[in-house]
Structure 1
């Protein structure tokens, strides 16, 4: 099931300005509650959402034949925080947008909570760039979960077309740098990348890996990733070699200490599952 929602700057998602609301009625009894209590109530309403940000042509021409590109969101199955896997059963819950735009006070209380509880998926560089341009800086700093799906430009056969590959690689490079600088609260990063550079060496530090290194702790961008998952695809290398380099990128992004803690937790979960299976076999026998 797909639900499409416009995310253009003209829409209320990013354009609502509480400063323009001149009417200031007396606060309700709910707004008089302490901020800590209100946040606990909001936590029951704002669950985990996962949306894919897509840039495509707008169907509304607004009386002109000129085509406009806007951002739209596609609802996806959310990931579980413990193991970052998708749950078995899932049903679409509507976004509490009506609550957010109730009044100025509730807007200020909930808008950052919406961005913090949303898992954003970007499949194109244009969507990343457009999203960074139209989203407020405070909202960007509140985002904690990002997934990047990137397909590199293939090696052109003619030299005159190589400029298009250079533009594509540079656009993704700059988009990752801007995202790492803007998303200060980013804690979870998933990357699914198809590599089409050739000839290359499958090593960290090559041109194809530089955009991902912006999210590392040593890059100086201020990001502090707690969970990183990298999947590399390249037809010229084996899956084992790609997995080794992907784990190396995860360690560079997370840091050696967090990476080792995550690996220990994964090993403990595997041993726990194997222990449960052994007990079941003993009971059956």
Structure 2
């Protein structure tokens, strides 16, 4: 038995016994052995069984990183796995491909990287067979529906899908869905700012899916321009937002949030229209 085969067996055993920390410690050694055996970057010059075995090890690494909530390692493994899914290698289909791809889509969604989300989704769709569809797969359907509901503003559907275990296709998705909680609340908060001038804390608790007034107050205190008086949350006016945004645009050291970038683009467009008129 080679050193790589021994490490792979130990690694798989640690994962199957939920020893994710132990498996994680073995992963760098496995990657080194894969590189030594010309398996870290797939090639037609390598035998199909060896490539399939290397792919399975990296896929197991993905699940280990998810259970350790190690997003950085997860992203590295995704990048290393993508070449193994190329059709020209003629490898047998991987039963884990759709699940892993769906987990990656979920991470992109939780980081609000919508453009990259759609790029990955389009690349995936182009590889599906004629009789296959994204929504027919239990794993791929999950992030696709979440993204659709977020764009529609159907936050109640999103919230149920990420917080109710019966809605999640596997435990790995429940782990990464945790990161979506903040994203969803940020989206709701932005919508609330645009729709209302103020909200009673009790109403905000319901809208933002909090369990207590204390949690709402803590969240409100972290939001730019929100203020609380006599049990009511007051949102910043449009003029206040524009003034703050213009100040941030003048200060190159202040990074803009996604919502601020959208507003900034809108302001620039409005100024161009005024110039034309």
Alignment TM-score, normalising by the size of structure 1: 0.30
Task: Write 1 or 2 for the structure with the bigger share of helix.
Answer: 2
Q: TM-score, normalised by structure 2?
A: 0.31
> If each structure's strand is expressed as a fraction of its own residues, which one has the higher value?
1
